[in-house]
Amino acid sequence: MKLIDEFHNPQKAYRLAQQIEEVVDQPLAFMEVCGTHSHVIARHGLTQMLPPQLRLISGPGCPVCVTPQEVIDAAIQLAREGLWLAVFGDMMKVPGSDGSLDEVRATGGQVQVVYSPMQAIEWAQENPDEQIVFMGVGFETTAPSVAICISEANELGLTNFSVLVAHRLIPPAMQALIAQPDVQIDGFLCPGHVSAIIGVHPYQPLAEQGIPCVVAGFEPLDVLQSLYMLAQMCRENKPQVLIQYDRVVKPEGNPTALAKMNEVFEVTTTRWRGLGEIPASGLRTRDSYARFDAQKRFALELKPVPEPPGCQCGAVLRGAVQPTECPLFGTACRPDHPVGPCMVSSEGACAAVYRYQIPTTTPSPT
Ligand code: SF4
């Protein structure tokens, strides 16, 4: 309750909004990279408290959303071929080219929702005659726990466990975002959870290129205070990397988690939904752990697949369009009938806007 009182206080929120208005002296666009920030902003109506000159745009920080279609298709293929798949819940309803994991499970496929990758290890131990594949989706926040899991599987000598590795790294994506000619980004709200692992140094090149960064917490006052810090740096033209979320994030991050991640994975070029191929933005298993790599073990070919017809998720993820600008938003695409992943995930930008900013009387799906 203390936390709620401290970080949800309306008077403090209005005071911060006023302070933001006082320092914003030019049109500014700040991107919240993290999907959880998008939900906090939508849920608490923070956009409506800001001056019209300050625009917030959602970024690519929803791991489910940026996982390209071919990875979803590969997971569905594995489950249809009789392998047992362990996934985080958000993946279940993401549409692939031909159905979803939810549909595979409904037709008898072995797809289990897990809350931790360690549950997939337990599943593998309990079922030694089955091949268990964990779908390793997520950023630097989840990659260390998956690395620990692979290391554990190695120590246990498991031969029926592997990971479909689809981890992605946030700072290279931010670098790619500021290079876009059609999207103006004047500052980044950096993801708190990712930063707790990587620290702040990876954002330094962005500040050196003139883009201020603030690592923000997840309560409404955290977000407003971080926006104020960004606006102030823009006004003074002194871009830096600052930590607002200092009750959790340390400048050096979590060296133990980083070391584990680096022991099991190495950095590679990878494709993002909406952003295309980005150098040094993904992870793959090192050769010493290659037998736990599902892509290698089952000779999966991940070829780029087109987005669902009409879906604007790619443009939403790079901040080029707002969710409501997608012609399918709220009509053909709704949480109970998603066309793209941004409407499925609990961190998706379309889901956030639909859930918190749209009246409940929306038309039926067509
Ligand atoms: S409304 Fe649906 S189809 Fe359109 S961008 Fe969002 S998730 Fe994709």
In tens, the pLDDT along 8-40 reads: 788 899 999 999 999 999 999 999 999 899 999
314 or 346, which is more confident: 314
Closest CA to 213 of 195, 18, 352, 52: 195
The stretch 239-257 carries a mean pLDDT of 97
Nearest atom (ligand 1) to Cα of 310? 3
The stretch 149-157 carries a mean pLDDT of 97
The stretch 78-84 carries a mean pLDDT of 96
Q: What pLDDT band is residue 218 in, cutting at 50, 70 and 90? A: very high
Closest CA to 65 of 343, 354, 355, 271: 343
Nearest atom (ligand 1) to Cα of 326? 4
At 347 the pLDDT is 83
Q: What pLDDT band is residue 366 in, cutting at 50, 70 and 90? A: very low
CATH tag, 1-355? 3.40.50.11740
pLDDT surpasses 70 at 114: yes
At 346 the pLDDT is 78
Cα dist from 46 to 118, 244, 292, whole Å: 37, 17, 44
- C-alpha of residue 96 to centroid of ligand 1, in Å: 14
Nearest atom (ligand 1) to Cα of 344? 7
pLDDT surpasses 80 at 365: no
Nearest atom (ligand 1) to Cα of 330? 1
Q: How many residues does the chain have?
A: 366
Nearest atom (ligand 1) to Cα of 321? 5
Among protein residues, the one with the nearest Cα to ligand 1's atom 3 is 311
Positive or negative, the CA dihedral 286, 292, 297, 303 is negative
The stretch 44-66 carries a mean pLDDT of 93
The stretch 344-351 carries a mean pLDDT of 88
Cα of 109 vs its chain's centroid, Å:
27
Among protein residues, the one with the nearest Cα to ligand 1's atom 6 is 350
Instruction: Mention every residue, 6+ apart, whose C-beta is less than 8 A from residue 119.
Output: 86, 112
At 305 the pLDDT is 87
Q: How far apart are CA 366 and CA 355, in angstroms?
A: 19
Tens digit of each residue's pLDDT (9 = 90 or more) over 260-310: 999 999 999 999 999 999 999 999 999 999 999 999 999 998 888 888 888
The overall average pLDDT reported for the chain is 93
Put simply, whether the predicted model's pTM sits higher than 0.85 gets the answer yes
- C-alpha of residue 114 to centroid of ligand 1, in Å: 26
At 11 the pLDDT is 86
Region label for 237, one of left (φ > 0), alpha (ψ between -120 and 50) or beta (otherwise):
left
Q: What pLDDT band is residue 361 in, cutting at 50, 70 and 90? A: very low
Cα dist from 169 to 67, 89, 139, whole Å: 12, 21, 6
Domains of the chain, by residue range, sit at 1-355
Q: What pLDDT band is residue 3 in, cutting at 50, 70 and 90? A: low
Ligand 1, residues 316, 321, 336, 345: which to mutate, most atoms within 8 A of Cβ? 316
Nearest atom (ligand 1) to Cα of 316? 5
- C-alpha of residue 328 to centroid of ligand 1, in Å: 6
At 5 the pLDDT is 66
Cα dist from 253 to 15, 140, 256, 331, whole Å: 31, 11, 9, 42
- C-alpha of residue 235 to centroid of ligand 1, in Å: 35
Residues with CB under 6 A from ligand 1: 311-313, 316, 323, 326, 328-329, 333, 339-340, 342-343, 350
Among protein residues, the one with the nearest Cα to ligand 1's atom 1 is 329
Ligand 1, residues 93, 334, 342, 354: which to mutate, most atoms within 8 A of Cβ? 342
Nearest atom (ligand 1) to Cα of 315? 5
List, in sequence order, every residue forming a beta bridge with 138; answer none if it has no partner: 167
The conformation of residue 333, written as its DSSP 8-state character, comes to B
Structure tokens given for 363:
């038309």
Cα dist from 36 to 144, 165, 167, 250, 262, whole Å: 20, 22, 18, 20, 26
Q: What pLDDT band is residue 4 in, cutting at 50, 70 and 90? A: low
Tens digit of each residue's pLDDT (9 = 90 or more) over 167-183: 999 999 999 999 999 99
